[in-house]
Structure 1
Amino acid sequence: MKSLRSEISFNTLASISVVSALIIGLSIYVYEKLYVEFVSAEVDAISVNMAVDLIDYIDEPAGSFNQTGILLRLDEYEYAEAAYIFGNDGTLLNHYIGHAGFNGGLTKPQEKMSPQHNQTDIDKSISTLSVGLYLTSSKVIVVKTVGEEFFPMGKLALVFNLEEALKASRQRYIILVTPSVALLIIISLFISTRAQRRAMRPLNTLIKTMDSVVDDNAYDVKVEEVNKEEMLALSRAFNNMMANIKKQSEANRQKNEMLQKQQSQMERLANFDALTGLPNRQCLMKLLSNELALAQKNSHELGLLFIDLDGFKAINDSFGHDTGDKFLLHISLLMDSTLEDNCTLGRLGGDEFIVIVRELTSPSYLEKIALKLVEAVSQPHIINRLKLDSSASIGLALASECEYSPTNLITNADVAMYKAKDDGKSRLVWFTDEMLARTQRKVLISTRITDALENDAFFLTYQAKVDSDKNITGFEALLRWEDEVLGQVPPGEFILIAEQTDKISQISLWVLKQLRYEFPLLLEAFGSNVVISVNLSPLDLNNHNVTQFLLHELNIGKLPASNLEIEITESAYMNNFNVANPFFASLKELGCKLALDDFGTGYSSLSYLTQFDIDTLKIDRSFVSKIGESKQSEMITKTIIDMAKSLNFSVCAEGVETHEQAKFLINQGCNTLQGFLYSRPIPLMELVDKTVNQSQDA
């Protein structure tokens, strides 16, 4: 690769050589021009002298001795080629051929002529020229008048050959000048090289500095700023660049440190719970998988505890998230201090924790750990100067029961934990296969509910309500589900699951939409005064889609308000009182009837009845079923009827199955009876056909 110095040296040498050649060429050109002018002036002077000397001899015969003597003067001139004496009439009187004439001649003033050219042609060529000086590329020709200008006696023509003179002169000049020019070039190169080295010294220093930066990764170097414009700019640019690199390097170092800290924090956040500092779900799954693989390899047992705090939601909702978070942190520290070294506590999320117990010696040991945790949590806790009560429901499972599968192990413990909650909370429950079967059925029912809604697998049945004379006054719309996979699913099973999985409002919307099509058939079959009762879930009262759809359908008349009765349980009304009252007020304004279902089972204050704008109290079947068997149930039933009458409520008893029950209720003044004694829930078309047949029989 060429260096900058060698390229500059080459360019300098080339420049000096070109300039020298141009100077030599120009000097030769000027020299030759001056030489021609000098020779021309000398030839002109010679011709003048000879013309004057020929005045005395021009009249002599041609070729006279005197004429020849004058012409022979030209022998002393090396480059004299020829001379001619002409008379006034152009007759050649005498001529001379010099040393140069043997090498060339002239036929015309513009052309060369060899010695063999015909003399007559030369004479004619010269004789035709007028007086004056003629220059060609290789000749000088001078024609002079012999005698006075106004009294000419003849003409004298001299021809000098310049070509050889110029050639010889040029050679001598080049020989003399070339050594000087070569010496000048050498001196110039030497001076140029020294100057280049001196000029390139800052650049070399800069290059060495840059190499040291590359080798040592040292960015705090600087170069001297010299007093040369270009190098000063380059030095300043380099120093500024190095300063910027150093600054950027420092910034990158700080960023790297920050990124490393952030990465460490992110790894901690990814694997540890931000609130409690315990291993989180992701970390627990990795840890559990590793521990299970090790336990299976070494044929050891591993136990898992699934912990859920009872009552945490109430604490969080009542006292705020700050108190809830502090409570969780307190409980996590408490549980962690209770555990031994072979146990790992982690937080799955919310108020759910798990404990991994390695190298479990026996199931009783796992149970002992769970009992200690239940006892530790089931104590009063002081948080933010509040005394908070809580407890823990714990599910226990063993790795060997699920073939050391981490997912199945957590599922088993989770299922057992929910069983502990169902059994009354603040306890521990071991996992069994029956629990898993029930859980799997719940999951399957939840999944199939969605399919049932999409494929219209639900259908409505209607159970009649009668008065004391057994006349039908209305029907209660009851939902049924016949699934192609599960078969017939009882409402008490799938409705609870639908509420737990937030699908109950979708079902309620389906029921209301279905009623739009079935209501006209019911009114046509049973008269315009028949009342159809529909149950709403407590969750429906907080679902905007359900409440607004019902109000809209009543407003536009798709559902006849005067024939519709909305049933809501006592506990649902109580738990959603602030939301339910405005909604029910809107229903009442449109003409709907309201019924309080399952009255007597919600343990509510009777004072609330004065705030309920209802039309009917429904006595729960748990009281009706014991009429004739329990005097206490009969007294409660009688009291409910009397209270309802005093408040101007209508009373409906559900679950009437015997004549004895019916007689007691009628005697106490019950307005409406409902139960298998009068009718089972019947699908619409079957109910309509039955009514039509009874009318025809009558």
Structure 2
Amino acid sequence: MKKNKEKKTFQKTLDALSKSKKYYPLFFVLILLLYIADFVVCRMLSVGGNPPPIMLAGQPIPLGAITGAVSNLGNICIILLVVFFGEIGFYTALGILLLQFPLVFQSIIVHHNLSNIPGVFGNILTILAIIIIYIRNNKANEYQERMRDQAVTDRLTGLPNRFACSELLDKLIKDSKKFALVHIDINSFKGINSTMGYESGNKVLIEIAKRWKNIADAGTSGTLDFVARVNGDEYVLIIRGYHSKTGIMKTIKHYEAVLGDRLTIDGCDFFITASFGYAEYPSDAKTPDSLFSYADAALTEVKARKSSVHILHFTPDLLKTERTLEIEGKIRDALKKDSLFFHLQPQYDMSHKLRGFEALARIKDADGQIMSPAEFIPVAEKVGLIDKLDSAVFRKAAVFFGELRARTGNSLILSLNASVRHLMKNDFLEELKELLKSSGLPAEQLEIEITESIMIDSAEKALQCINDIRAMGIKLAIDDFGTGYSSLSYLSNFPADLLKIDKSFIDKMNDSDKAKKYVEAIISLGHIMGFSVISEGVEEPEQLETLKEIGCDLIQGYIWGRPMPQEDAEQLVLAELSTE
């Protein structure tokens, strides 16, 4: 914020000085008119004897007083000319003052008009004043130039810095000039610092900057290039004057190639590589912040790939990676603060009798809004946090359900989702035992949902774990049935109690007779294997009627109940028990 404020103030000063130059001709004409008036009055005094005074409001004003006032006003304008218009103002003012001396000396010597003698000393003093002002202005300007150079120059490498880079971006965007912004990061630079020390690391950065500056200054890349060091081992390259993306790639490869030459620092040889991520204006982004962000997203992705290709152009799908990092941070934060919570979605039999609830993980966004599970669950799986997320929901939901059972005496089922990663942990069974013990929930009221994909990942180990769970008296459900690729031979040996039909099949069920028969076949298959069958995502009355018609056992969906907080679930249980 502070840098931006300084930048704006500095820019306003430059703009003000720039605008003041427009008024130079007007200022110059005003001074000339004043000195012409002074000259005319002087001539009247010198050749006209004793001309009559000018009357103002009934009072006489001598011409001598008028010429003094005009002369002083002219001197003030002369000084202002030097102050505001620098070198050109100084030489203009000096010329005007020096031109007065012949006229004044003529008046004194030829016409013996000694009244002009004070004016001579006044002009001399004015000349001294403008010389002093000019010298001080020059020193101030030199200081300002040094300050500006320091403000826009990286002290270590001598390259332009982030401030200079931002100024150029603002100008290019204002002028609607096409360009590419390349974010560059030196690979494994931390290793150089840690093994050789920061001094050697700085020398490496200086040498890299020197090589790249030579390319930019000489124009050997074939494009107009601007190189800046923006942070640590990070640089920015702005490329202009290219005709296609091929031109951008050619230029970047030129900068990449010069790093391939051996770099010797303090007797040690280094072979440096770098990663490049770039975005184009205006096709990819139209603001400096977006360009930096998108180029950085491309850079992050190309470094993560760890391939032999070190250059990547930004594409919109890379933003998903940025969002993934953001979501991962929220998951970690929720786990650290133990702020992850759950909602409960009711499950009913076809007569609308409450069977139990499925516990669903929930995380709040920064603005307090609940994030979609479809967004954070895949991220948790991808970054290896799904087992921790599962455990947090298991613990909190089981405690609540145990307390609810103690208060109401209900025999409802609590269904919990277990990921493959969670189920395959060596201590999973111990976790379940501790869960039942701490919550006071009977094993027969707990149901673990697993996906059929577990049979693909590790069938033998999975079956052993499943058999152990069943031996504890805990129920098992196969979740999202029909979306995996497990064989019927595996499923026939699967000791489950419940088969859950995925919502995607229910959504299409009434679109065609074929889709309806497909769902009917799944229900029949489940019954043949000895499973009860529940349909997920039931939202329409027509879907409900069809499921009743084809023999579905249980329903879960918005039509009879959305996911709800604990308090609402408790009220639903109490209402259900009161009708029995």
Q: Provide TM-score, normalisation by structure 1.
A: 0.42
Rg comparison, structure with higher value: 1
The one of the two structures with greater contact order (alpha-carbon pairs below 8 A, sep at least 6) is: 2
